[in-house]
Amino acid sequence: MAGINKETAQKHLDAWLEAEMAITTGQSYTIGSRVLTRANLTEVRNAITYWEDKVKKIENIEKNGGRNKIRRVVPRDL
């Protein structure tokens, strides 16, 4: 994740959430003879999922100090 920090990931997530709101209020509209079609809602939702995962991973790294907690268990028959 070189170059991506929590603030950057959160800004991207916020931007994609705003884009989703804009799309849901009107997918396309016409002014005179011109037609404007907004982005594909599926692509926007995929981007939202991507940035949500990035934010969660960064928060998890901050919480756990960048380490995964691994425990080793050796089953023994007593």
Q: Domain count for the chain, please give it.
A: 1
Per-residue three-class SS string for 23-71? HHHCCEEEECCEEEECCCHHHHHHHHHHHHHHHHHHHHHHHHCCCCCCC
Residue 69: inside a domain: no
Full domain range(s) for residue 24: 6-59
Answer whether residue 32 shows pLDDT above 50.
yes
Answer whether residue 1 shows pLDDT above 60.
no
Residue 1: inside a domain: no
Residue 71: inside a domain: no
Residue 67: inside a domain: no
Residue 44: inside a domain: yes
Indicate the range of 9-13, 41-45, 61-65 predicted with least confidence.
Answer: 61-65
pTM: 0.65
Q: Average pLDDT, stretch 24-31? A: 78
Residue 42: inside a domain: yes
**Average model confidence (pLDDT) across the chain:** 85
Residue 64: inside a domain: no
Residue 70: inside a domain: no
